[in-house]
Amino acid sequence: QVQLVESGGGSVQVGGSLRLSCAVSGYTTSIYCLGWFRQAGGKEREGVAAIARDGVPTYADSVKGRFTISKDNANNLYLQMNSLKPEDTAMYYCAIRPSCALAGFDIRLLTSAAFAYWGQGTQVTVSS
């Protein structure tokens, strides 16, 4: 059974930092991409960042230069978030895309429909 468990969310002031983690288990193949998404109240879920099999990251324009996605060999996924803004407030989810090219991640695939497995989310609140 595939499981993704997010952690690291919390409340922070504008300009602060948080590091989200996602523990992945039960996925028996190495051919997949990982991504972070977020959903604010009353809005659609949006893609934040993804990382390809070769480790190359892709970011939404709204977080470029502030967020860093990474993964380790133990199937853990991370999202380092710096210079946080009130508009970053949302529930953050990690997800698996089972079909994944060896190199690079096409930004056009950073959509909810392109990912198949999801965690329960971790809340991030940024206050001014």
Please determine, for residue 71, whether its predicted confidence score (pLDDT) is greater than 90: yes
Rounded to an integer, the average pLDDT of 93-121 is 93
pLDDT value for 53: 87
Q: Output the pLDDT for position 119.
A: 97
The rounded mean pLDDT for the chain is 94
Give pLDDT tens digits for 39-50: 999 899 999 999
Residue type, 125: T
Supply the pLDDT for residue 92: 98
**Ranges 10-19, 97-106, 108-117: which has the least confidence:** 97-106
Does residue 107 have a pLDDT over 80?
A: yes
With 90 as the cut, is the pLDDT of residue 22 above it? yes
Q: What is the pLDDT of residue 43?
A: 95
**Is the pLDDT at 28 greater than 80, yes or no?**
no
